[in-house]
Amino acid sequence: MKTYDVIIVGAGAAGLSAAKTALELSKKVAIIDLGDKPARKVAISGGGRCNFTNDAIAPNRYFGENADFVRSAISKVSSQDILNWVKSHHLKWIEKTAGQYFCATGAQDVVNALLQDIKSADLFLNNLTTDITKSDEETFVIKTDKNIFKSKSIVIATGGISYPVLGVSDFGYKIAKKFGHKIVPVRPALCAISTKMFPPELSGISFEAEASIGKEKIKDSILITHFGLGGPAIYRATVRNLIDDIHINLLPDINVFDWLKVVKTTEGKRNLATVLSSKLPARLARYIAQDASKNIADFKDSELKVIAEKISNLVVPKDSFKLYNLQSAEVVRGGVSTAEISSKTMESKLCPGLFFAGEVLDIAGDLGGFNLHWAFASGRIAGENA
């Protein structure tokens, strides 16, 4: 039986970050993972470029039953802290948009840097953790399908259950439940939606728009797919609380009705589809115009108002769409409830010595590096205190 100061279950961003911090405090550390490679999600993140942090890190970019739970961790670990870590490994970054950082040489270099940090830990891959028990007040026993370990502290960093092709497990939820923790029901997030709003012949069209859900307005691109809607604006909408309809404004920067009335007066002989295609993709413009032969001068103002409303406030009723699936979702909403976890230490309030970090918790971040930042930050805090 192998004995350690800290055992981390899960070799993703949160687990490796926790291991690095614990090692810096001279702890004897083991990391256990069911897969044959560590940091599998990191390796494909950001389209293979690893969007590792964002200058806009703030509590309002996180979601869960108590999203404010992130406040302590992200105040201790800033985007500059992550950039300093990247610098320490001589990695270069690019900003696709201001404050959104990607690894210039690819995600695998970030993985390599994470692994370099934990070289003095014992890494057990292809080890499926089957059970964790507490043999006395201070000692955990961890069983895998190949080994038995003992430790004073355990960090559960098993992640969520999205993207199962990478090898994921609900073990973290099961262990949390075993030690008395509530599990918030899990659903896909940062994903496409399935809806019959648009006909299949419009699939492949991409455009900048504004998606609103509740009081939140999200300006980003939307993609019409063969099964519904995708693209960053839709992905970002799905991580929010889906208690309202999704409203889409195809032209958020103009008053469409006023614009159409002006064009009707100044360029009345142009047909509506041609007019709309000056600001929208041609196929989408024809779909909205419907009667391509009719000049804009032939439309009554009341008819133009209806068209303008269709463009400015396209409603996707909450009962008419489904989240696409866990297979392609980037993260999940739900997980281990934060109600009985210390936000300052990541330690269970029910079981001393048991810590949680990363996506296994009921915390999901916005698109754009927020989830990796949460993994790094919560992992560091768990590693400091385990």
Domain end call among 324, 354, 374: 324
40 and 177 inside one domain: yes
What long-range pairs does 127-133 form, CB within 8 A, spacing at least 24? 127/32, 127/33, 127/34, 128/34, 128/169, 129/9, 129/32, 129/34, 129/171, 132/9, 132/175, 132/178
Q: Which pair of tokens denotes residue 35?
A: 């897969």
75-101 core/surface letters (b: 16 or more CB in 10 A; e: else): eebebebbbebbeeeebebeeeeeebb
Residue 103: strand, helix, or coil? strand
Q: Which of 273, 306, 324 is the last residue of a domain?
A: 324
Is the domain of 381 the same as that of 304?
Answer: no
Reply yes or no on whether the pLDDT at 30 is more than 90: yes
Domain end, chosen from 276, 301, 324, is at: 324
Query: Is the same domain home to 104 and 245?
Result: no
- Whichever domain contains 270, its CATH number is 1.10.8.260
The Cα 226–Cα 201 span in angstroms is 8
Separation between Cα atoms, residue 59 and residue 255, nearest integer Å: 32
- List the structure tokens of 327: 């297979």
Domain that holds residue 335: 2-188+331-385
**Same domain, yes or no, for 163 and 230?**
no
So what's the pLDDT on residue 293?
76
Task: Answer yes or no: do 143 and 24 share one domain.
Answer: yes
Q: Are residues 257 and 110 in the same domain?
A: no
pTM score: 0.95
Q: What does the pLDDT read at residue 267? A: 94
Question: In this structure, what CATH number is given to the domain that contains residue 129?
Answer: 3.50.50.60
Give the per-residue pLDDT at 167.
82
Neighbours of 215 (CB within 10 A): 6
Q: What is the pLDDT of residue 163?
A: 83
Which residues, 6+ apart, have CB-to-CB distance to 214 below 8 Å?
240, 241, 243, 244
For residues 8 and 143, membership in a common domain is answered with yes
- Give residue 86's pLDDT band: very low, low, confident or very high (50, 70, 90): very high
Domain identity same for 74 and 116: yes
pLDDT of 205 over the 90 cut: yes
Break the chain down into helix, strand, coil percent, rounded to 5. 35, 25, 35
The answer on pLDDT for 139 being more than 80 is: yes
Q: What is the mean pLDDT of residues 34-46?
A: 95
**pLDDT confidence of residue 186:** 96
Give me the pLDDT at residue 85, please.
98
Mean of all residue pLDDT scores within the chain: 96
Pair (31, 148) in one structural domain? yes
Query: How many angstroms separate the Cα of 334 from the Cα of each of 123, 237, 297, 318?
Result: 28, 16, 52, 19
Do 280 and 360 sit in the same domain of this protein? Answer: no
Burial code (b: 16+ CB inside 10 Å, e: under 16) for 103-123 equals: beebbebbbebbeebbeebeb
Mean pLDDT of 196-203: 93
From residue 146, give the alpha-carbon distance in Å to each of 23, 125, 350. Answer: 24, 10, 29
The pLDDT, as a whole number, for residue 318 is: 93
- Structural domain tally of the chain? 2
- How much is the pLDDT for 166? 84
Q: Are residues 171 and 104 in the same domain?
A: yes
- The verdict on 169 and 206 lying in the same domain is no
